[in-house]
Amino acid sequence: MDKIVVLDGFTANPGDISWDCFKKLGELTVYKRTPDNLVVERAKGARIAITNKTVFSKEIIEALPELEYIGVIATGYNVVDIEAAGRQGIVVTNVPGYSTESVVQTVFAHLLNLTQRVAQHSESVRAGDWVRSDDFCYWSGELVELSGKTFGIMGFGAIGQRVAAVASALGMRVICYSRTASKIDAAGYEAVNLEKLFAESDVLSLNCPLTAANAEVVNAENLKLMKSSAFLINTARGGLVNEADLAAALDSGILAGAGVDVLSTEPPQADNPLLEAKNCYITPHLAWATLEARQRLLRTAYQNVESFQKGLTVNRVN
């Protein structure tokens, strides 16, 4: 019977989903979290290791000669040294596409909060402002109607395409920037260059992977191209944003607001400038974490392992 170890199961499954299906596949041990200095000890003797964010470096992989499979319970697999795994004949899989609808939902949760000032007004009501009001209603700050505005999308993969569909359903003009402009045209949206994306977007949503080419693409130079009334939404990767530049743009009024679900370092450092920036709403990397998405995540992770044991690997990334 295969020894299976889950090294950091808590974030994907804090207890509201069962791991029992994995017990059908082998002798299962689940750890909530594993510090770097305990990875080798806990994975020793395992044929199958499951990780979310626990790192499998070259040194760790070489110290685990019995390991044949690393299953990443996430879409990104940068926590694994893919070359080292390949040299050792280790299969590495991921789980693509499980959270698309949930991430799209979070994009618009942030946008609707920024345009309708939901959190701000709820806090105001709790503070007694409506009770003391002379009128039947009030609002603090400008409220923004989305219909007729321009929604810009950076990236046109599965998430970007669904974001485009929802923005279009809200009556917005959709423009997109991607390396695959033909896909944008085929979907009936307008493909634009990067400068036009920043300059014309009333809302700019980042929905692309982080690469060396687009790291800190949201920077002082590009932010100056944007409308002072525009909003930035980032549910992709924190490294796409120069956080100091974005904080300065928000504090100086170059940009109206930002909704951010990801930061460059997670958990963030206490001195991250976005934590105190004006009109910046931050959620703790939760876009992927609806119950339904996490159920799909574990179900696919189970199917990945089951297929591996049958010699039919799916979702292999190396």
Band of the pLDDT at 23, cuts 50, 70, 90? very high
From residue 22, how far is each of 19, 85, 204 by CA, in Å? 6, 23, 41
Q: Which of these, 219, 73, 214, 233, lies nearest to 159 by C-alpha position?
A: 233
Q: How far apart are CA 201 and CA 226, in angstroms?
A: 7
Partners of 48 in the beta sheet? 4, 69
CB 261 within 8 A of CB 238: no
Q: What is the pLDDT of residues 36-79, one digit of tens each?
A: 999 999 999 999 999 999 999 999 999 999 999 999 999 999 99
Band of the pLDDT at 26, cuts 50, 70, 90? very high
Q: What pLDDT, on the 0 to 100 scale, is given for residue 181?
A: 85
Domains of the chain in start order, with CATH, are 3-98+291-309 (3.40.50.720), 100-282 (3.40.50.720)
Q: What pLDDT, on the 0 to 100 scale, is given for residue 106?
A: 98
CA dihedral 157, 217, 153, 301 (to 10 degrees): 30
pLDDT at 101 over 90: yes
Token pair 């594993």 is at which residue?
Answer: 34
Q: What is the pLDDT of residues 131-174, one digit of tens each?
A: 999 999 999 999 999 999 999 999 999 999 999 999 999 999 99
pLDDT at 122 over 90: yes
Q: How far apart are CA 148 and CA 39, in angstroms?
A: 52
Catalytic residues: 237, 266, 285
Band of the pLDDT at 180, cuts 50, 70, 90? confident
Q: pTM value? A: 0.93
Residue 52 neighbours by CB under 8 Å, 6+ apart: 7, 8, 9, 11, 12, 72, 73, 74, 79
Q: What pLDDT, on the 0 to 100 scale, is given for residue 203?
A: 98
Query: Region 241-248: what's the mean pLDDT?
Result: 98
Q: What pLDDT, on the 0 to 100 scale, is given for residue 179?
A: 87
